Amino acid sequence: MAVDIVIYHNPACGTSRNTLAMIRNAGIEPHVAEYLKTPPSRALLVDLIDRAGITPRDLLREKGTPYAELGLGDPSLTDNALLDAMIAHPVLINRPLVVSPLGVRLCRPSEAVLDLLPEAQRGAFAKEDGEQVVDASGQRIA
């Protein structure tokens, strides 16, 4: 059975790399959208946020971005203003966002992706930092 998964990915991000590796550990080759090279349209970004059940502020990344310089911590900024900032500066979009037949989620921590995968893990998985997430039988470690 072919499974259609999309990951909005930044290869420079360890969380994003771990998430991609867990998708592949389930035997699924996802569509990889490097959103810094090919940013989503505003309409797609709004759709992803809605489907994930989060707000634009929930998707806003602070670390390593122009968040502070743009004054995005101001709680009076509207969702539209935050979306405008993410469209103008895609690095402000937190990652990785994963779209699967089971839903859309910002996968932070990376093992949140396990709830979106219709296929079981095919073996043990450890994050890049060595943290064991899945055991040898493919079961999530609590």
Q: Between the CA of residue 92 and those of 61, 113, 128, what are the distances in Å?
A: 5, 21, 23
**Residue 101 CB-half CA count within 13 A:** 8
Phi, psi at 2, each rounded to 5°: -80, 135
Q: Which residues are known catalytic residues?
A: 13
